[in-house]
Amino acid sequence: MSTLPRVTAIFFGRPPSPAGQGGGAFNAAGLAGLRRAAARQAVTVTEAWQHDPARRAETVEAAARQGGLVIAHGGQGEEAVRQVAPAFPGVAFAVTQGRIAGPNIACFEVLQEQSAFLAGALAGWWIRGGVAAHLSGEPVPPGLRGRAGFAAGLAHARPGARLLTGFCGNQHDPALARDWTAAQARSGAEVQFQMLDAGRPGAIEAARAAGMRCIGNVHDWTAEDAVFLASAIADNGVTMEAAISAFLADRWEDRRIGLEDPAAVRLAYAADVAPELAARCEALRIAILGGAVEVPEHYDGAEWKP
């Protein structure tokens, strides 16, 4: 009797509660993609969770000892995989939203920076007072690229706009996100781009109290809460499916998915976004795909703290 290929997917944060809370959009999308892949491909899947940054490499190594494919979901796993993979040459390592290389490492990525660029442009065209905000947790590479995209889109649409951009240190702390968001609102921000996970409810609460609009990421937050002006969709669940498919087909190479696949990467709009603004963003999307507008991956502007 043959043994099914083994897949261990590692998530950084806390598992969702039975009520569905606690995983946030990023991990929830990854879980959904993992389970879609497992339902239609002959693999044995194990989920692992690690909340403590100091133990990430330990968790990756424990998964590697089981063999097969180890998927580290998100940029928080880059350094741990970089450390562990050379000692396990017979194990395949995938990093979703990653940009590291190695003979047994492949990275699978949805280009959040592309939809973030459109979100920044929308923010620039929408704000009246000239101040927009960005908030994330850990300054991991994919988060930095998303911030760079938003900043560039804002500057493209409104060159004189001020960006209050910062990383509060934790993707999953609602109280911390609430405090930073309230401070950004007091500093004049009219809209906030939220690159958070389980900490997002705190940011939403503070934004609503301040009368500030939000732009979400990963999935369509406009369908869930009227505080959202838009959402820079980058469904990382497709990276889970791509990693498992590549592993089973023995085609171990990086894959990046951007605005050319609107099912995975696009900007979603709230009902109160004026049609002419949506049309301007669509024209910008076409310009990006055609190469007329470049989405940068680096930001060299000022950092902001409360």
Q: Per-residue pLDDT for the chain (306 aa), expressed as one digit of tens each?
A: 358 999 999 999 877 765 444 446 888 899 999 999 999 999 999 999 998 999 999 999 999 999 999 999 999 999 999 999 999 999 999 999 999 999 999 999 999 999 999 999 999 999 999 999 999 999 999 999 999 999 999 999 999 999 999 999 999 899 999 999 999 999 999 999 999 988 999 999 999 999 999 999 999 999 999 999 999 999 999 999 999 999 999 999 999 999 999 999 999 999 999 999 999 999 999 999 999 999 999 999 999 999
Nearest CA to 197 among 71, 14, 49?
A: 14
Per-residue pLDDT, 21: 46
Q: Tell me the fold of 112-234+266-290.
A: Rossmann fold (3.40.50)
| DSSP states of the chain | -PPPPEEEEEEES-PPPTTS-SSHHHHHHHHHHHHHHHHHS--EEEEEEE--GGGHHHHHHHHHTT-SEEEEESGGGHHHHHHHGGG-TTSEEEEET----BTTEEEEEE-HHHHHHHHHHHHHHH-SSSEEEEEESS--HHHHHHHHHHHHHHHHH-TT-EEEEEE-S-TT-HHHHHHHHHHHHHTT-SEEEEE-STTHHHHHHHHHHHT-EEEEEES-GGGT-TTEEEEEEE-THHHHHHHHHHHHHT----EEE-TT-TTTEEEEE-TTS-HHHHHHHHHHHHHHHHTSS---S---S-----
Nearest CA to 32 among 19, 43, 20, 44?
A: 20
pTM: predicted TM-score of the whole model, two decimal places = 0.90
CATH number of 6-111+236-257: 3.40.50.2300
- Paired tokens of 228: 């959202």
Per-residue pLDDT, 15: 79
- Tell me how crowded residue 58 is: count the other CB atoms within 10 A of its CB: 13
- Tell me how crowded residue 61 is: count the other CB atoms within 10 A of its CB: 16
Determine the straight-line distance between the first and last CA of the chain, rounded to whole angstroms: 60
Per-residue pLDDT, 2: 52
Q: How far apart are CA 133 and CA 55, in angstroms?
A: 32
Where are the domain boundaries for CATH 3.40.50.2300 in the chain?
6-111+236-257, 112-234+266-290
> Which residues does residue 215 pair with via DSSP β-bridges, in sequence order?
193, 230
